Amino acid sequence: MEEERIQKILARAGYGSRRKIEVWIREGKILVNGVPAILGQKITETADIQLDGQRLRLASRLKATPRVLLYHKKMGEVCSRDDPEGRDTVFKELPPIKPGRWISVGRLDINTDGLLLFTNDGELANKMMHPSSELEREYAVRVLGAVTDEMLDNLRKGVMLEDGKASFTNIVFAGGGGANSWFHVTLKEGRNREVRRLWESQDVKVSRLRRIRYGSIKLERRLRPGKYEDLPVRQTRNLYKSLGLEVDESLLPQREVQKRNTLYGQNKSTKYQQKKSTVWGKRSKRK
């Protein structure tokens, strides 16, 4: 059986992102065959792994079909699994999943609503969040205050925030008038409150913020706040391919499975489904 890095296997099994698992390893929370794990250590899926004294079931989890869930986050919800203040969490709205667990792809602050993605594949979540993937995040933003062309130029060219330079890769006027204006803005990273801080650097206030796209995945109008749906199999498969990740056999059309199995002398089959989608909203260009 092939050996792989421990953080890769645990992430793929849905125990967390690679970054989170690396933190656990540094803190000595993970044991391999009774010995503290080492960063980069290679193991097989049959290794005896424990996290905080609890044995992890790797083999059964790794057999789960990879899933990507689209959730329309409501304002007022937090993105943690449990909240000490008793606020509603997004995880309470998600369907149960066995084996594995849901991992959020990034976060949205309590006052932001819109598209939030989840997956049971930690490796996929890590890849989607990593800056090297350069996946675009698009937001619909309502700002309070006059917005000038000079401000928009500043936001495109980049402004210095407390944690470094930041900018929007695209800004499109999306309607409104008077004191309130709507814009669609795009950026390729997910720093804490980055969209709000960029606008605040120009002395305008964000009065409403909704994420409407993450990479090629869009928030559809049919998906109401507090509701979720699975990303269709074809789109999930294409997502893996676009990120350079191996596509699980359960996501492949039957003809591709047969082709792959012919190469490896196997004989398995799988089914897949397709769904149509509609685009969230229309844009209007600023004149």
In a domain, 219, yes or no: no
Among the listed residues 93, 128, 106, 99, the one whose alpha carbon sits nearest the alpha carbon of residue 15: 99
In a domain, 83, yes or no: no
In a domain, 262, yes or no: no
β-strands 4-5, 42-43: how paired? antiparallel
Give pLDDT, residue 254.
61
In a domain, 14, yes or no: yes
**By residue range, what is the domain housing residue 13?**
4-61
Give the end of a domain, one of 171, 193, 214: 214
Count of structural domains, the chain: 2
Q: What is the CATH number of the domain that holds 10?
A: 3.10.290.10
pLDDT tens-place values along the chain, 287 residues long: 578 889 888 887 778 888 889 999 999 999 999 999 999 899 987 889 999 998 887 765 566 789 999 999 999 999 998 889 999 999 999 999 877 789 999 999 999 999 999 999 888 998 999 888 999 999 999 999 889 999 999 999 999 999 999 999 999 999 987 789 999 999 998 888 999 999 999 999 999 999 999 999 999 999 999 999 999 999 999 999 999 998 888 888 765 555 555 554 544 433 434 444 444 444 444 44
Give pLDDT, residue 276.
41
In a domain, 48, yes or no: yes
Distant-in-sequence, close-in-space partners of 165: CB < 8 Å, separation ≥ 6:
158, 159
In a domain, 87, yes or no: no
In a domain, 210, yes or no: yes
In a domain, 33, yes or no: yes
Q: What is the CATH number of the domain that holds 191?
A: 3.30.2350.10
Give the end of a domain, one of 19, 37, 61: 61
Contact between 209 and 112 under an 8 Å Cβ cutoff? The reply is: yes
Residues tagged active-site:
109
Give the end of a domain, one of 13, 46, 61: 61
